[in-house]
Amino acid sequence: MTEPVLSIRNITKMFGALAASDNVSLDLMPGEIHALIGPNGAGKSTLIQQISGGLTPDAGSVHFLGRDVTGLDTVARARLGLGRTFQISALAMEDTVLQNAMLGALGAKGRPFSILRPIMRDKGLRQVAEAALDRMGLSTHHNTVTGELSHGQRRQLEVAVALTLSPRAFLMDEPMAGLGTSGTHDLTAILSNLRHEAPILLVEHDMDAVFALADRISVLDYGRIIATGTVDEIRAHPDVRRAYLGEET
Amino acid sequence: MTRETWINAALALGLLAVPLWAWVADEPFTITLATKVAILALAGVGLNIALGLGGLVSLGHAAFFGLGGYAMGILAAHAQNYTPLMEWPLVVEGTKSMPVIWLVAVIVSALTALLIGALSLRTSGVYFIMITLAFGQMLYYFAISWPAYGGEDGLSIYVRNGFPGLNTLDPIQFFAICYVLLILALAFSARLARSPFGLALNAARQSPQRVETVGISPYRLRLLAFVISGAITGLAGALFADLNRFVSPSMFSWQTSGEIMVFIILGGTARLFGPVAGAALFIFLEQALGGLSEYWHVHLGLLLLAVVLFARGGIIGTLAGQGARND
Amino acid sequence: MALPGKPLGEQNKLMTTILLIEQVLNGLQFGVMLFLTAAGLTLVFGVMGLINLAHGSLFMVGAFAAAAVAGATGSFILALAASLAAAAAAGALVEMLVIRRLYSRDHLDQVLATFALILIFSEGTRWLFGSFPLYLNIPTWLSGPVTLPGGIQYPLYRLTIIAIGLVIAGGLFLLISRTRLGIRIRAGESDREMIAALGVDISKLYTIVFALGAALAGLAGALVGAIQSVQVGMGEPVLILAFVVIVIGGIGLVKGALIGSILVGLTDTLGRILLPEVFKLFLDPSTATSIGASLATMSIYILMAAVLVVKPTGLFGAKA
């Protein structure tokens, strides 16, 4: 049996009396897209934060590549190969597109505390950054200031920066949010291919995209996982229909 | 060349031309003013690395300016009194050599910046401002109450310290030293901004989350920026003390911190030559308005208020237009 | 020097205890005065998200107004009323002319603009009143010592400051927890859009909060002005101490400001008498006095550093 890349075991996180995560367990297997869905306030963001390292769980553990990372912060987890994209674009908006991609390459493969050589002349890092931008269809935008990109292009840049890290797993928080139909369509195609490089834990509201992409789906409600299964299993699951899909339609 | 590059070149040449003219015309006071501009600009270049590039609003840079000043004062005072600085565990003598004094000033400032930064960077935003201000004030009170080096009265040094091969008592030669150090610091600062560290630091200012998720610690970036920044401002402090041949606790005062920041803003935040333009304007206003009215700080206050409220790019921003780095 | 013998020893012990109690009261008085200054600062930050360096100027405005009115009328009560009114008016004016343009700006702009205000206030005051310090006398009915239980003699005026400060602290807590204005202040701290939705006139609320904070600082300036001298630049050292208080207590919290103020007041006052004594245990007296006194000036900053190490958001601040 293959080992999971990312393994979340019995995570609990309390905010006062409210259990934002209630004994959550979840696995991300090699080669899969595992979608995490649930109504607003179900605790998706809190869970993502605990996986990425922004929050420490009160109980339970997170294992990444067989290693216990529960006590590590965001920086350490990123260095181990956890690539994350944000729901609200977190990019250096005053910098150019290429500079943002270079930052990713620098974090993964460069020496961020070097003050000697100009970074834009570092051919090795530049190759990594440009390759990632090419894959996301941003090769004509190298010198565009990020703040001037369209919403969809920022989403693509988010993914491109994650790509420069050559991550061992992706953690994507609503990458489709705010994209138009064609944007969603393009990104769906890209993510679908990406799973073979590294598995993706995908938090997404767009149900069409989730059903098109996901190998497995976990449904979160009131901080608990109420079901995990294939697309068909989840569609048919009575609790899910009540808790979530019922609300959607 | 961009318009900003032209402005920068004009500033660099202007700051050189004015004292050269004054030297020819035998106006030593003007040379002294130009020297003061160069030194204050150097202090601003230091702060600009933390403030402009790193977004760290430090209101405590007087701490480093004062430490640099006292490094000079203490070393030179021991040298002029022929008393060793300490005798145990090893004998350390004072010195009148500028390069040694600079080295000590830079090291002391950097170490103090490491300590203050390590504590204050645990917080951010308003906390950071208040904490840096408080630590600056701590050193101010300490300098006042520490009787060994003049306390409230400060320390006078009778003869300006020496630099091998130069006569530092000659105003134009001392100006040359300060000017070269300023240009070196500007070159270093420009290089820093284009380095991997500069890219990461600048990104950490805009989006710390992003920097974390690519595996770089914003805390460490900021700490290094703060240390470099403090060290340069400390060097400026040593030169300032040598210009006046006098150090006093006022170098540590919160007004000093505020004024260094004012140079940067008047000139243009995060602009390479912002501190140069700002310091030149400041000294010009001090001379021009100070002659007209005893209360020239009112005018300075009104000008600063107008720049903050209506002309956010400062002088260089207004002249050169919005750069890619300016928001 | 002292003759050996039990009675004298006990007498010394008694003297030390009395001295200590006096110093504790001094520390309290200092702390209460800091609280009056820090409360406005922390409220303004909590409600409007503004860092106001010119808060010390309002402290100074209160002191000058009190000194001017006391000089003209001879009434201390009128002087205190004037300090409240002048600082509140100056605060409201500055809020409407300058400060309200800064709420949406970043902290750097706020720092610079309020630094500019300090320059304007300080030089303006120097222009109006000159560079020489003014003196505000303690009225006869508040001067002289009172005898406390245990036979301790303590200046009535300082005791009055403690009482006024504690009454105001109590009033402020009631204001915030019980009144409609307090509800709006608390709502403003948690959610600005919500109070706009409730139909509260935000800009009026902000002006009131700012003027309230200014009035408290002005009162503190007047009360302190009678102990020290009234001069330009008297506000900024207090402002910086108030920052230390806020960092220790947690930002935006009146309770944090109160506890922080008292801690800072006691640490500073007791540090000044205790540290030289501590150093006398292993150094000769004159060295001990000078080292102790120098380190005592640093004691509150060391306290602040310690709080930062343990809890960067302050003793009562929310967890990061």
Residues forming a β-bridge with B86: B92
Listed residue (A77, A47, A55, A20) closest to A173, CA to CA: A47
Average pLDDT, chain B: 91
* Tens of pLDDT, residues A129-175: 999 999 988 999 999 999 999 888 898 899 999 999 999 999 999 88
Q: How confident is the model at residue C120 (pLDDT cuts 50, 70, 90)?
A: very high
Predicted confidence band of residue C252 (pLDDT cuts 50, 70, 90): confident
Share of chain A above pLDDT 90, in %: 56
B144 and C308 in contact by Cβ < 8 A?
no
Owning domain of residue A213: 1-72+203-249
Q: Determine the pLDDT at residue A1.
A: 56
Nearest residue in C to B134, CA atom: C240
Q: Report residue A176 CA to chain centroid gap.
A: 11
Beta-bridge partners for A18: A15
* Least confidently predicted of A113-117, A218-222, C6-10, C34-38: C6-10
| CA-to-CA separations, C48 to A209, C101, C110, in angstroms, rounded | 42, 12, 12
pLDDT at B65 over 90: yes
Instruction: Kindly state the helix (H) or strand (E) to which residue A28 belongs, with its residue range.
Output: strand A18-28
Residue C41 domain-assigned?
Answer: yes
pLDDT (mean) for B107-118: 97
Domains belonging to chain B, first-starting first, are 3-320 (1.10.3470)
User: What digits encode the pLDDT tens for the residues B176-198?
Assistant: 999 999 999 999 999 999 999 99
Per this entry, what is the length of chain A?
249
Within a domain: A151: no
Q: Bigger pLDDT: C150 or A80?
A: A80
Nearest Cα neighbor of C214 from C68, C4, C1, C50 is C50
B143 has pLDDT over 70: yes
User: A249 pLDDT band (50/70/90 cuts)?
Assistant: very low
User: Is residue C320 a part of any domain in this protein?
Assistant: no
In a domain, C179, yes or no: yes
C12 in a structural domain: no
Q: Is B289 on the interface with C (CB under 8 A)?
A: no
Average pLDDT over residues B6-13: 92
Task: Determine, yes or no, domain membership for C197.
Answer: yes
Distance CA B55, CA B207 (A): 11
Q: How confident is the model at residue C6 (pLDDT cuts 50, 70, 90)?
A: low
Q: What is the pLDDT of residue B263?
A: 87
**Cβ <8 Å between B214 and A95:** no
Q: What pLDDT digit, counting tens, does each position of C16-28 carry?
A: 888 888 899 999 9
Mutation for testing the A interface, residue in B202, B206, B214 having most A CBs under 10 Å: B214
Q: pLDDT tens for residues C216-250?
A: 999 999 999 988 889 998 999 999 999 999 999 98
In tens, the pLDDT along B119-132 reads 999 988 888 999 99
The confidence score (pLDDT) of residue C2 equals 46
Mean pLDDT of the C100-124 span: 92
- Whether B and C touch, i.e. at least 3 CB pairs below 8 A, reads as yes
Q: Which two tokens stand for residue B73?
A: 């004062």
Whether B250 shows a pLDDT value over 90: the answer reads: yes
Whole-number mean pLDDT of chain A? 89
Question: Which pLDDT score is estimated for C8?
Answer: 64
* A43: closest CA of chain B, how far (Å): 20
Which pLDDT score is estimated for C296?
87
Residue C190: the pLDDT is 67
Question: Residue A130's closest CA among A92, A160, A88?
Answer: A160
CB B267 within 8 A of CB B45: no
Strand order of the β-sheet with A67-68 is A18-28, A6-15, A59-64, A67-68
Q: Does C26 reside within a domain?
A: no
What was the pLDDT predicted at C198? 67
Q: Is residue C238 one of the residues assigned to a domain?
A: yes
Specify the number of domains making up chain A: 1
Whether the per-residue pLDDT at B327 is higher than 50: the answer is no
Mean pLDDT of C123-146: 88
Q: What is the pLDDT of residue B324?
A: 40
pLDDT over 70 for what percent of chain B? 98
Count of C-beta atoms within a 10 Å radius of residue C264: 28
C125 vs B: CB within 8 A: no
pLDDT tens digits for range C163-199: 999 999 999 999 888 888 888 777 777 666 666 666 6
Residue A173 DSSP code: E
**Averaged over A67-95, what is the pLDDT?**
91
Residue C107 and residue B141: Cβ atoms within 8 Å?
no
Q: What pLDDT was estimated at residue B61? A: 96
Picking from A49, A77, A82, A94 by the largest number of B CB atoms within 10 A of its own CB, the best residue to mutate is: A94
Domain span including residue C294: 35-310
The DSSP letter of residue C293 is H
* Shortest alpha-carbon distance between residue A232 and chain B (Å): 34
C108 vs B51: CB contact, 8 Å cut-off?
A: yes
The count of domains in chain C is: 1
Distance CA C135, CA C224 (A): 11
Q: Which residue of B has its CA nearest to A77?
A: B215
Would the pLDDT of A222 be above 60?
yes
Neighbours of B18 (CB within 10 A): 18
Other Cβ atoms less than 10 A from the Cβ of C192: the count is: 16
The C-alpha angle with vertex A190 and arms to A186 and A195, in degrees rounded to 5, equals 150
Q: Does a structural domain hold residue C279? A: yes
CATH number at residue A16: 3.40.50.300
